[in-house]
Chain A
Amino acid sequence: MVLYGVAALAASLLAGKLVGDLLGAALGIDSNVGGVGFAMIMLILVTERLRKKGLFPPASEQGVLFWSAMYIPIVVAMASTQNVAGAVGSGPMAIVAGLAALAAGAALVPVLSRIGTPAEPLPPLDDAEKQVV
């Protein structure tokens, strides 16, 4: 049943957010620490287990894949609700600070990526994988 996939996804996110909140509280800060990350790991582990036991049939899988496919439209909606007017009208200092932090961070990505075993680039997208919009 499709809902089983959606339910597994929802349960993973709730559990992950709870862990993130607890971790934040333990560190004494009013913020969620890594909730989405924990949720992802839980989803991967749980679905892998269920699949091996044959308890996560393609129908359940569809419930997860639907939301994965909704990701880009949701991000477009998110973009349309950002405070862009606030960012643009904030004056030079905020703009310089934001841009400089971005540039410094981006410049260090290739440096840090060299730590550990080198990674292979992903294969190019085939036509089936390309998100047709």
Chain B
Amino acid sequence: MDMVVELFEKNGLLVAFALVGAVMLFAGWLSKSLTRGRLQGSAIAILLGLVLSYVGGAATGGEDGLADLALFSGLGIMGGSMLRDFAIVATAYGVDLQEIRRAGLAGGLSVFLGVVVSFVVGAAVAVMFGYTDAESVTTIGAGAATYIVGPVTGTAVGASSEVIALSVAAGLVKAVVVMIGTPFMAKSIGLNNPKSAMVFGGMMGTTSGVAGGLAATDKRLVPYGAMTATFYTGVGCLLCPSVLYLAVRAVSGG
């Protein structure tokens, strides 16, 4: 038994390939037998991945889901940002640049509007829950953009570490729900063409959420959504601690 554990820990990436293969096989079977193919196997696989990550996080108290168990640490490499970005760029192979140019204006606008709308909504929720100082309200609003913008902004404006942790949590909730929810809302928001996928990526902004959500909806939309989402965190880090922070201070009078 010890030998097996040691072997697995030494060959983490291979364990990850085999484990994800098993998860996808099981998800494909569930898709066929339980939903008669109505819910795509990939959507179920992502959902199972999130469940596994909850189990891993609850068992270890760590922050990296199942990868916190040494046995499955290879998942951290396979699902880390390096290979994720590598695969996202690969999906762009064969994409028609015309399509991207045609949606350029709507996609570009969506990034700015996405940051501002998320910020305003997040800040409003913070006020609803009793936060009144401009630093906390700004940081939580920034967290509602993505879980990277939150702490970057919080550090810049000098928010308390408790508020920064909350802003990360708000961004995490958004990322997880985008992953699960995208296939269900795709129809009602017209998410079936490259242009709306670019707008969707810009409005949501969370790269992991958009990457997972579009994979579960229609893999052909991935490059378009990822294209705009990749600008979102940068724009958020630019706007939240500056213009939007000043706006909050002007409104709150502090």
Q: Return the contact of B219 from the options A23, A71, A112 (Cβ within 8 A).
A: A71
Q: Cβ of A131 and Cβ of B196 under 8 Å apart?
A: no
Q: Cβ of B65 and Cβ of A73 under 8 Å apart?
A: no
Q: Cβ of B173 and Cβ of A43 under 8 Å apart?
A: no
Q: Cβ of B190 and Cβ of A9 under 8 Å apart?
A: no
Q: Cβ of A79 and Cβ of B110 under 8 Å apart?
A: no
CB distance from A130 to the nearest CB of B (A): 9
Q: Return the contact of B54 from the options A85, A104, A105 (Cβ within 8 A).
A: A85
Q: Cβ of A108 and Cβ of B97 under 8 Å apart?
A: no
CA distance A85 to B203 in the complex (A): 25
Q: Cβ of B190 and Cβ of A110 under 8 Å apart?
A: yes
Residue A99 at the B interface, CB < 8 A? yes
Whether A100 touches B125, Cβ cut-off 8 Å, given contacts A77-B79, A80-B65, is yes
Q: Cβ of B86 and Cβ of A120 under 8 Å apart?
A: no
CB distance from A54 to the nearest CB of B (A): 17
Binary per-residue interface labels of chain B (91-123) against chain A in the complex, 1 for a CB within 8 Å, 0 otherwise: 111110100101101100110011001100110
Whether A80 touches B66, Cβ cut-off 8 Å, given contacts A74-B79, A109-B199, A110-B189, is yes
CA distance A39 to B174 in the complex (A): 26
Binary per-residue interface labels of chain A (64-106) against chain B in the complex, 1 for a CB within 8 Å, 0 otherwise: 1111101111111111111111111011111111111110111
Q: Across the A-B interface, how many residue pairs have beta carbons closer than 8 Å? A: 360
Residue B247 at the A interface, CB < 8 A? no
Residue B14 at the A interface, CB < 8 A? no
B binding-site residues for A, Cβ under 8 Å: 16-17, 20-21, 23-25, 27-28, 31, 40-42, 45-54, 56-58, 61, 63-67, 72, 75-76, 78-80, 83-95, 97, 100, 102-103, 105-106, 109-110, 113-114, 117-118, 121-122, 124-126, 128-129, 140, 143-145, 148, 152, 166-179, 181, 185, 189-196, 199-200, 202-205, 207-208, 211-212, 215, 218-223, 226-228, 230-231, 233-235, 237-238
Query: Could you list some 25 contacts between A and B, CB below 8 A?
Result: A20-B234, A31-B234, A36-B88, A40-B227, A71-B88, A72-B42, A74-B79, A78-B49, A80-B20, A80-B52, A83-B53, A84-B50, A95-B169, A97-B143, A100-B125, A100-B144, A101-B170, A104-B118, A105-B117, A109-B110, A109-B196, A110-B196, A129-B220, A132-B28, A133-B41
